[in-house]
Amino acid sequence: MKNLKYGFIGLQFFILIALFSCNNVQGVKFERQQWVEQTDPLFPSPYRSKMLNDLTVNNKLVGLSYNKLVEQLGIPDFKDSNSLSYKIVVDYGKDIDPIYTKDLDFSFSKDSVIESFKVNEWKK
């Protein structure tokens, strides 16, 4: 019975360690400086993919004005009359055309207030 008790405690300890080590899988905390960092105009900051979950879950994006969003995320990679987009991942593989993209897309009202956002992925 004593060995069973220690085995159960060991199992609980193992599960705790596993949970804490998996915590970093979801990414890192959003930081504007790293988000806007860009060494090549064809590729977004390598940190964007790691920060995406924290940005969309822990930051209020819907309801922000266009200007506040740009202040927080920098100049968008694409903008038209009622939407804008930030590149998260662009993978060219061995081609000159992308084979995979992931973007964070926003739509905004006539008053330039963010109404919604979504993550769009495309694969060739």
Q: How far apart are CA 105 and CA 86, in angstroms?
A: 7
Residues of the chain predicted below pLDDT 50: 11, 14, 16-25
pLDDT in tens, 39-53: 888 889 999 999 999
CA angle 117, 80, 102 (to 5 degrees): 45
Looking at every residue in the chain, the average pLDDT score rounds to: 86
Distance of CA 109 to the CA centre of its chain: 23
